[in-house]
Chain A
Amino acid sequence: MTRDRSPLRYLGHQARDVARGPLALFVVVSAGLAFILWRVFGAREAPDPADLLGGLVAGTLLVAVLIAAGGVAGNDIKQGYYRAWFSKPIAPWWFYLQRWLLGGVAVLTIPLWLGTGLALAFGAGTGISAALVGNVALGYLLIGGAVLLASTVSARDWLVVFLVYFFQRRLEEVQQMLDGLGQDVPWAVDALVRVLPPFHLVTPGAALPEGGELVRLLGYGLGMVALAVVVLRSRPLGSGGRA
């Protein structure tokens, strides 16, 4: 028997899993949000679709990314499914990277579902822009990259990233506030804001980050994904005889 050695051979199954899971949820929630907004605004003047869509995406992106990327590797490792998957001729790092990328595709469709819902509700356009889609992609790279990295060591990856996100955002706000008041920022706060992933740079409703900010965001995102791949390649998946 000739063997199908294509690394993409399991892609279809993973795509179906994502379509039935996160993607279906995003479609339903988008439709629900559009319906609620239509009921709230009613016959009043329709809001600017770009502003509304930007605000909605900004408000839901973190949760959406945690849903799409959460548990990618960590859940399989915890449940022990990996023993069946990876006795077959496939590399864990590729299996999970592929699944993670599909999660990203699902998140990237959120502006489409929300924009379509808003267009149907208010008839004033979808509000979708290249900058918004670009920001969503950068958001998935950074937040989703952190989730993938956390997933290599914990099944509670989403919780770990949520806490780090919350902590980093509060620290960054403290830094901004002290700067605004002309006071010295404690070195520990400054160091932590520099070291932690720059989640504050993910701003779906605004313009795309540029220059140093863009480089920093891309660097952290790609770096965390690369580190996750290295961990999946080098760290054994088992932690005990029957684990």
Chain B
Amino acid sequence: MIRFEAAGKTYVSLLTRRRVEALADFTLELQPGEVVGIAGPNGAGKSTLISLLLGFLHPSAGRITLDGLSPRDYVESRGVGYLTELVNLPSQWKVPDALGRMAVLAGIPASERDGAVREVMVRLGLEEHRAKRIKQLSKGNLQRVGLGQALLGTFDLVVLDEPTHGLDPLWTQRFRDIVAELRRPDRIILIASHNLDELEQLSDRVAILDHGRLQRVVDHGTTVTADAVAWRLVFEGTPDVAAVLPGALPVAGREGTWRAMASRAELSRGLATLLSAGAVLVECVPEQGRLASAFHEAVKR
């Protein structure tokens, strides 16, 4: 279990003594078997949170424990499958060499190492790039190498920071399949991403950060379904939608098209009234994902 207890991180400039509070009073527990997303605008504190979790930074306040151990003790004894936001490996290494070295560090026994590297290369479509050096890879291929090294070894904690950064739609979908395959009852998967749609599809809960503070935790199973989200409604003709869904606004230049904020229950009641009065519904789609609605509400942007 991972436990953040009022964790905070403040950076202090050595020269000017200027203080920047990157994370404050962050409290959250992550249980084995969970896939937890971390969402937030740029500078919200996501990367700082991950650096604290991996022991690359010490908290200025509060406490972080992983199975009762400090982050550094945990990582040094058990290891973590970690994909960095910006994949950084020595540029002159060739792809199999880079993955081979990471397999050694991951503690894969010598007898299984070549097989593990080969498997990851096939899984991530890197076979055709085996003769290339790291510096010759495109952004997407480099991201796949980064993901590959994170998948080498069997760790109880997997941390993926902006995992689909630079991936094309095909590999973005493949990545989602890989994360689904990574799910295990004794494993925690933490994904930090700007991509709310991705987090909504992959994670069980999403912690929304803004200005270094945890704004809310969105649980897909319960909380979101009760929240109001934006809907796009298209009717034949021009029924008075605002009369049954307060706050609904017609979309300028598109006859019969409305935008309404409503929970599922409110929407159902409103639509029932309109349809019983003879309105013909052409389309009803959520304008934003549920998580996106919760996100915008949480960060007030």
Q: List residues of chain A with CB under 8 Å of any chain B CB.
A: 1-5, 9-10, 13, 79-91, 236-238, 240-243
5 A–B contacts from the bound complex (CB under 8 Å) = A3-B153, A9-B105, A89-B76, A241-B45, A243-B51
Flag whether B47 is at the interface (Cβ < 8 A): yes
With both chains docked as a complex, state the minimum distance between the C-beta of A236 and any C-beta of chain B, in angstroms. 5
Are B58 and A236 neighbours in the complex by a CB distance under 8 Å? yes
Alpha-carbon distance A122/B265, docked complex (angstroms): 97
Flag whether B108 is at the interface (Cβ < 8 A): yes
Are B88 and A79 neighbours in the complex by a CB distance under 8 Å? yes
- Other contacts beyond A3-B109, A88-B153: 17, CB < 8 A: A1-B109, A1-B153, A1-B154, A3-B153, A4-B104, A4-B108, A9-B104, A10-B105, A13-B101, A81-B90, A86-B56, A87-B80, A88-B107, A90-B105, A236-B55, A238-B57, A241-B51
Query: What band does the interface of chain B fall in when counting residues whose beta carbon is under 8 Å from A?
Result: 35 or more
Are B107 and A9 neighbours in the complex by a CB distance under 8 Å? yes
Flag whether B257 is at the interface (Cβ < 8 A): no
Q: Mark B6-19, 1 if CB is under 8 A from A, else 0.
A: 00000100000000
With both chains docked as a complex, state the minimum distance between the C-beta of B94 and any C-beta of chain A, in angstroms. 13
B57 touches which of A5, A80, A236 (Cβ 8 Å): A236
Are A83 and B107 neighbours in the complex by a CB distance under 8 Å? no
A87 touches which of B11, B82, B154 (Cβ 8 Å): B82
Tell me the chain B residues, 143-200 only, with Cβ under 8 Å from chain A.
146, 149-150, 153-154, 159
Alpha-carbon distance A171/B211, docked complex (angstroms): 52
Number of A-B contacts (CB under 8 A): 97
Task: Give the chain B neighbours of A4 by CB distance below 8 A.
Answer: 104, 107-110
With both chains docked as a complex, state the minimum distance between the C-beta of A186 and any C-beta of chain B, in angstroms. 31
Q: List residues of chain B with CB under 8 Å of any chain A CB.
A: 11, 22, 45-48, 51, 54-58, 75-82, 84-90, 101-102, 104-110, 112, 146, 149-150, 153-154, 159
Q: Which DSSP category, helix, strand, loop or mixed, fits chain A's interface?
A: loop
**CB contact under 8 A between A83 and B109, given known A10-B101, A89-B78:** no
Are B57 and A87 neighbours in the complex by a CB distance under 8 Å? no
Query: Which B-chain residue is minimally distant from A82 (CB atoms)?
Result: B56
Task: Give the chain A neighbours of B89 by CB distance below 8 A.
Answer: 81, 84
Query: Which B-chain residue is minimally distant from A233 (CB atoms)?
Result: B72
With both chains docked as a complex, state the minimum distance between the C-beta of B277 and any C-beta of chain A, in angstroms. 55
Alpha-carbon distance A88/B80, docked complex (angstroms): 6
Are B75 and A240 neighbours in the complex by a CB distance under 8 Å? no
Query: Which B-chain residue is minimally distant from A2 (CB atoms)?
Result: B109
Alpha-carbon distance A224/B149, docked complex (angstroms): 34
Alpha-carbon distance A176/B45, docked complex (angstroms): 56
Task: Give the chain B neighbours of A3 by CB distance below 8 A.
Answer: 107-109, 153
Query: Which A-chain residue is minimally distant from B77 (CB atoms)?
Result: A89
Are A86 and B75 neighbours in the complex by a CB distance under 8 Å? yes
Alpha-carbon distance A1/B79, docked complex (angstroms): 14
Task: Give the chain B neighbours of A90 by CB distance below 8 A.
Answer: 76, 105
Residue from the set A2, A5, A13, A89 with the largest chain B CB neighbour count within 10 Å = A89
Alpha-carbon distance A131/B169, docked complex (angstroms): 65
Are B107 and A84 neighbours in the complex by a CB distance under 8 Å? no
